A and B are shown apart, each in its own frame.
Chain A
Amino acid sequence: MALRVMIVDDALFMRNMLKDIFVRAGYEIVAEADNGEAAPQLYQDTKPDLVTMDIVMPKKSGIEALQEIIVTDPQARVVMVSALGQDALVLEAVEAGARDFIVKPFREDKVLETIRRIVGQD
Chain B
Amino acid sequence: MDMSKYRELFLSEAREHINSLSQLVVTLEQEPGNRETIDALFREAHSIKGMAATMGFNNTARLSHHLEDLLDGFRNSGDIPSVTIDYLLEGIDLLDGLLDDLLDDRPERNTEDFLTKQPVPAADREKKSPDRSIADVDDDESSKAPPEEPDTFQVLIELEKGIPAAAACGILILRELEKSGKVKASKPEMDELREEGDCEQIQAWLTSLVEKEQLKETLLNISGVANVRFIEDRRKNDRRLRRAVDRTIRVRTDLLDQFVNLTGELITHRNMLNTAGSNRNWDELNSALERAGRLIDDLHHNVLQVRLMPLQSITGRLPRIVRDLSRKSGKKVNLQLNGTDVGIDRVILEEITDPLVHLVRNAVDHGIEEEGVVTVSAGREKDLILIEVADNGKGMDPQTLRQKAVDSGVVTQAQAHSMSDRDALMLVCRPGFSTAQEVTETSGRGVGMDVVRAAIRNLGGTLNIISEVGTGTRFQMRLPLSIAIIKILLVRCAGRVLAIPITRVQRTLDLPTSEIQTSGPHRLFRLDEEEICLYSLAETLNLPQAAAGDITWAILTEVRGLRVGLQVDGFLGQRDAFIKPTGFPLNLLTGLSGATVEGDGRVTFVVDPQALLEKHKMVTNL
Residue positions of A touching B, CB distance < 8 A:
11-14, 56, 82-88, 90-91, 93-95, 99-105, 110, 113-114, 117
Contact = CB atoms under 8 A, between A and B. Distances in A.
Contacts of B505: 84-85
B223 interface: yes
Mostly helix, strand, loop or mixed at chain B's interface? mixed
Interface stretch (B167-175, B273-281, B298-306, B587-595): B167-175
Contacts of A91: 165, 167-168, 171, 193-194, 196
Contacts of B553: 105
20 contacts: A11-B512, A13-B550, A82-B164, A85-B164, A86-B165, A87-B164, A87-B167, A87-B196, A88-B196, A90-B164, A90-B168, A91-B165, A91-B167, A94-B171, A95-B171, A101-B165, A101-B168, A103-B164, A103-B165, A113-B221
B168 A83 contact: no
**By CB atoms of chain A within 10 A, which of B164, B194, B553, B570 has the most?**
B164
B223 A84 contact: no
Given A87-B168, A105-B510, 7 more contacts: A83-B510, A84-B571, A87-B166, A91-B171, A94-B168, A100-B172, A103-B164
A41 to B, nearest CB: 25
Contacts of A87: 164-168, 196
Nearest to A93: B168
Interface string B499-515: 00000011111101000
B545 to A, nearest CB: 19
Interface string B159-198: 0000011111001100000000000000000000110100
B172 to A, nearest CB: 6
A85 B196 contact: no
Nearest to B513: A13
A86 B167 CA distance: 12
A34 to B, nearest CB: 12
Contacts of B222: 100, 117
A51 B287 CA distance: 62
B551 interface: yes
Nearest to B549: A13
Contacts of A90: 164-165, 168
Contacts of B574: 84
A48 to B, nearest CB: 21
A98 B505 CA distance: 26
Given A13-B550, A82-B164, A95-B194, A105 B509 contact: no
Contacts of B171: 91, 94-95
A113 B551 CA distance: 24
Contacts of A117: 221-223
Contacts of A83: 507-510
B508 A104 contact: yes
A84 B512 contact: no
Contacts of A104: 508, 510
Given A87-B164, A88-B196, A94 B508 contact: no
**A94, A103, A110: which has the most chain B beta carbons within 10 Å?**
A94
Q: Which residue, of B171, B193, B223, B550, has the highest number of chain A Cβ atoms within 10 A?
A: B223
B507 A84 contact: yes
A119 B193 CA distance: 25
Given A84-B507, A86-B507, A113 B223 contact: yes
